[in-house]
Chains A and B, each alone.
Chain A
Amino acid sequence: MARCDKELLLQIPVEGFMYPNEVELQWSVLIVLYPFLTGLVAGAFILASLERVFMVKAVKPTYRLALLTALAFLIVAPLPLQLHLGHPERSFEMYLTPHRSSAMAMFGFVYLWYLLAVLVVEIWLDYRRDIVVMSQCTTGWKRLVYRVLTLGSTNISERSLHIDERVGWLVTVIGIPSAFLLHGYVGFIFGSVKANPWWSSPLMPVVFLFSAMVSGIAIVMLLYMLMCRLRREPIDMDCVDTVAKYLFYTFIIDFSLEMLDLIHRIYEADESFRSLDFMVHTRLFLSQVVIQILLGTVLPILLIGVTQVVKLAAEQRKRIYVAAGCLTMIGIFAMRWNVVIGGQLFSKSFLGYTTYKMGFVAREGLLTAIVLTVLPFVILGVLVKLLPPWPEKKSAISSVAVAAYGAD
């Protein structure tokens, strides 16, 4: 963390013994935010692929929204990393000389691959007809934007759209393991550090991935319900019921994995266990036991579980989904917090603990984290305006398209 001189160091309360260089935390709330954001990207994409590849027709209304959500969060994702680096101007070195033994070096390429070869291509292929039509219908700077996006081709014949459909399907199929890689490698960054027993685990990439899917599904569900409200459109209950069902199943798997890790730790009780156990019971109690496990995992599972077992009216189900969705988002953020911050609160000598002093108006402070969390929603707002996700707008355009290019 930046600008920490000796005076500031001395202000950090230390309990027991820490190696002198360990007192100051290395990775701040921004590094908590990064896996949270890429997790949303991966999870939203997986939800989108449910419809495209696994033919779950019920979730179609969320398809385009899920893609745009993924894009909005992916655009913001590198920002917390850049703000954290001591020398962000040197970050391009990861593209020049990536060190192949380092999981972090993969970031640049996996990110670029996922952004360009998967997400942007898939969105472009799915929206291409609308882009071409809007490049004819709109005026001013918007028209210029759409014209650039067409890449100069105005071919929206049935055959070209069919080719788009097939290629898009292929891109989605490639996109699923790419999404796993995009977020799985983050888990591996932590899971492969043998020096840190809180992180070092083969389960880490898997836990990260499943919690990412949970958060991604939850946020698309919440955004869909919110946008229907804003557009004064009825919520497609079949859609949200299906999304909630998938959220439920994914959550069960995620919870099982986290419990497996916990039980394994308690059972084996290796040399780090006493120190970590004490940390969880004291410094991490609120964020881990209360927020992550009880409020953020058990409660949402129970809430959605109720809807799976008991027949409830649509209004009641909606309320439960919103509550469960919000709790899930908080819980998954808490999970990232507990991994990143928790892993730095204890000494590698297992003899002491330090404290995380989070600034507010600082380069790596809370305000920055809040701004970076809000920013994707702002970008999503712009994307939704530029590339409207929903059929009713599409039908208005379709009639123009039919007039201009002949029948579908």
Chain B
Amino acid sequence: MKAFKDAGHLFRLASVFLVGGVLFLAFRGVLVPRSFGQYGHYRGNAIKDTAALPISYAGHQVCESCHTDVLEVKSKGVHKGVACEACHGPLATHADDPASVQPTKLDTAVLCVRCHEANLAKPKNFPQVVSAEHSGGAPCETCHQPHSPAIVAVTGGSQ
């Protein structure tokens, strides 16, 4: 056509762009993950990936299914709402294979103090003490059994 006689170079340019566009669409078709868009603008499999992450804390129900004796004691005391692993640490591996993993002995000097050290920001009705003045250096378990901390008897020795 006469109008396009001297515009050949523009057609060449346009075809370069067209080829580029087609290549882009081809790449896109191959590279977009299959599950993308399944539930929304994201990879549907990401939900499965997140849900499949490993678990570290077994949860108190699992502990209680074996350690019924501890549960008996704990359910009568003020620590009944405290989960086992809150003090004993994550023990899913122990629950999985009890013989293979033994929970370590806890240091009450660090553990009890974390919750019960007196602090103005703690709720007024929460039991808290100034640990340096409270027991004169004696470890907490001298008087308080952690599973049921109310003092029923003093186990000898100095206060």
A residues with CB within 8 A of B: 92, 95-97, 99-100, 116-117, 121, 124, 128, 150-153, 155, 157, 159-160, 163, 167
Contact = CB atoms under 8 A, between A and B. Distances in A.
11 contacts: A95-B28, A124-B13, A151-B9, A151-B12, A151-B13, A152-B12, A155-B6, A155-B8, A157-B6, A160-B8, A163-B10
Interface string B1-34: 0000111111011001100100010001001100
Given A159-B6, A160-B6, A153 B41 contact: no
Given A95-B24, A116-B20, 16 more contacts: A92-B31, A96-B28, A97-B36, A97-B41, A100-B41, A117-B17, A121-B13, A128-B9, A151-B13, A153-B8, A153-B12, A155-B8, A159-B5, A159-B6, A163-B7, A163-B10
Nearest to A101: B41
Contacts of A151: 9, 12-13, 16
Nearest to A124: B13
B31 A96 contact: yes
Question: Which 4 pairs between the two chains have the least Cβ-Cβ distance?
Answer: A153-B9, A160-B6, A159-B6, A151-B12
A159 B7 CA distance: 9
Q: Give the interface centre of A96, A150, A167 by most chain B CB atoms within 10 Å.
A: A96
Nearest to A157: B6
Contacts of B31: 92, 96
Say which size band chain B's interface belongs to. Answer: 10 to 19
Contacts of B24: 95
A108 to B, nearest CB: 11
A160 B12 CA distance: 13
Contacts of A121: 13
A275 B6 CA distance: 64
Nearest to A99: B41
B157 to A, nearest CB: 41
A116 B10 contact: no
A209 to B, nearest CB: 27
Contacts of B9: 128, 150-151, 153, 155, 160
Contacts of A155: 6, 8-9
Contacts of B12: 151-153
Contacts of B5: 159
